[in-house]
Amino acid sequence: MTLLVLLGLVSYYVGTLGTHTEIKKVAEEKVTLPCHHQLGLPEKDTLDIEWLLTDHEGNQKVVITYSSHHVYNNLTEEQKGRVAFASNFLAGDASLQIEPLKPSDEGRYTCKVKNSGRYVWSYVILKVLVRPSKPKCELEGELTEGSDLTLQCESSSGTEPIVYSWQRVQEKRGEDERLPPKSKIDYNHPGRVLLQNLTMSSSGLYQCTAGNEAGKESCVVRVTVRYVQSVGMIAGAVTGMVAGALLIFLLVWLLIRRKDKKRYEEEERPNEIREDAEAPKARLVKPSSSSSGSRSSRSGSSSTRSTANSGSRSQRTPCAEAARRPGLAAHVYGPLGPEARGSEPKKAPHATLTKAENTPSTIPSQSRAFQTV
């Protein structure tokens, strides 16, 4: 009896450990993880299937299950809608299908099938490969003859290891695809290549390829080597253009300044009083009538006083009066001879002076000739 119980327990735990399989697939593709059994044929109503995923950190989660005639495939948020049974799991094929693959799907999968006390386990290690991202090609250095130039190429993402390689692109028939002589690869940074002592023949199109198990991506860059003389000529031309522009600007500024100065002088000239300007010339007015003589007699004295700067003309006026009145002029304005110097002038008789006062004076008419109008 005890033996029969032991045999029953042994038969209850009898199962197949299955095989270990390793699969590599590229991200965004479809993968099928195999799991086969024969436990569902005798009693389908008691069949249970379960897929488990153990990630790199040791965390385990249920991916998909079949139990009590129901399939549960939305158990994880990361794989929701992307996992399903690949075939008729009741007939013995409980393989798991994942589409599209993501890097987070990588890990160790366990397929566990149970029916009527019997178990079947299958183990699959899934590796998700990520294709290198499109690399970025760059240049470091001077593109002149005799200089050194560094070609750089790097992908921002992709499954390691990523292998980089540089080559020239044939643009014309017969061109060499190999790198120029004296080129060196930086083994610490495989995407870097040093081109030493550039020549004109180093010009061309260069291609970098980044590749791994998932695939390859590439980029291109053009290298154009320039003459040193051409660089100097370009610098000289630029300097000349700048100097010419500055000269034109200076000339325009000077012309504007000159025009503004000339306009300012023209506006200020009417307001200027020149100290060395010549005084206005006097006009000689000829007496024409007695009425004009009487008008001149009233203004003669004031006109004579207003022309204080004409001393010589005021001295000639008494002479003209002396010519018309010899009696009075002889005593008042007579020239002093050598005999008469130092003596007092003779007084005119009272009758003479009275007569002179009563006589109509024509002196202003004579002095009017020197009046300033």
Can you point out the beta strands (E) in the chain?
15-16, 20-26, 31-33, 48-54, 60-67, 70-72, 83-85, 96-98, 107-115, 118-129, 136-141, 149-154, 163-169, 183-185, 192-195, 204-212, 215-223
pTM of this prediction? Answer: 0.52
Partners of 115 in beta bridges: 118
pLDDT recorded at residue 122: 92
Q: What is the mean pLDDT of the chain?
A: 73
Q: Is the pLDDT of residue 286 over 70?
A: no
Residues of the chain with pLDDT > 70, as a percent, come to 63
Q: Is 189 helix (H, G, I), strand (E, B) or coil?
A: coil
Q: How far apart are CA 321 and CA 333, in angstroms?
A: 9
Q: How far apart are CA 71 and CA 65, in angstroms?
A: 6
What confidence tier does 194 reach under pLDDT thresholds 50, 70, 90? very high
Q: Is the pLDDT of residue 51 over 60?
A: yes
